Amino acid sequence: MGGSLTLSERLWRIALWVGAILCFAFLIVPIAAMLPLSVNDGQYLTYPLRGFTTRWFEEFFTSERWAMSIRNSLVIGLASALLATALGTLAALGLSRGYCPGSRAIMAILLSPLIVPVVIYAVGLYFFFAPLGLTASYTGIILAHAALGAPFVVITVLASLTGFDWNLARAGASLGAGPVRVAFRVIFPLILPGMITGALFAFATSFEEVVVILFIAGPEQRTIPREMFSGLRENISPTIAAAAAVLVAVSVILLTAVELLRRRTERLRGMTAR
């Protein structure tokens, strides 16, 4: 097939590959530039590299200050992902039935955290949470991050509900199962890949978020991104590069899990369609 291409088609294909490689490099190079500094045997975040060392990773995992930030990031990320998954799934189920009045306006409101600049959202949260005593508390941060992660759950669960056969739920109800039992025994198992995918995106959103943390978190709620931000202002240590490498590794693991779930969903849909 390649021999049958005309000269203009070959040039177009070459230009397409060159453009794709340049776009890929534009996205990846700024991230990859931090990784060598995480194993650089120097005192500052600068090139050229002076040697190989793992002491910055050792400091990241053994320092009490960084250990507290890791613990906070995991606790806040898991709690906010669970809350976002519950709220986002219920919202997606309601919007998917089609008879919800004002569904388009509700959908726009639910997705607004993805559109509104985070700094505006953070300022609003501060003035809303402060009178309620939710600033400088884990509860306030979990609620704020759950609101940021819920739109991802709504989108992925709505995608899973596309083509969902509601006759299965009606069949369960006709056999005497209540709404809760139908939801847990029929609906949730079928849309589980979408729920898990949304939960992973919600966890990643919370795990890497820093703007809201800067506005409403206290000294006891320091997360990894907050610690990195403070480190850049106070002392530029290569430990920050080690923390960045860990965040990149977590993101790669989450994206791999999402891709595996996507392939599993497509395989199950293909089996159902047969």
Phi then psi for 52, rounded to 5 degrees? Answer: -105, 135
Would you state the pLDDT for residue 145?
94
Q: How far is CA 255 from CA 98, 147, 204, 236, 274, in A?
A: 31, 21, 9, 29, 29
Q: Which residues of the chain have pLDDT under 70?
A: 1-3, 98-99, 268-274
Place of tokens 């050229």: 48
CATH code for the domain defined by 68-166+193-269: 1.10.3720.10
* Cis status of the peptide bond prior to 151, with omega within 30 of 0: no
Q: d(Cα 155, Cα 89) in Å, to the nearest integer?
A: 9
Q: What is the pLDDT of residues 6-18, one digit of tens each?
A: 888 889 999 999 9
Would you state the pLDDT for residue 271?
59
* Closest to 152 measured CA to CA, from 100, 101, 209, 102: 209
Would you state the pLDDT for residue 254?
85
Locate the domains of the chain by residue range.
Answer: 68-166+193-269
Neighbour-count burial for 7-30, b at 16+ CB within 10 Å, e otherwise:
eeeeeeeeeeeeeeeeeeeeeeee
Would you state the pLDDT for residue 116?
87
How does DSSP assign 58-80, residue by residue? HHHHH-HHHHHHHHHHHHHHHHH
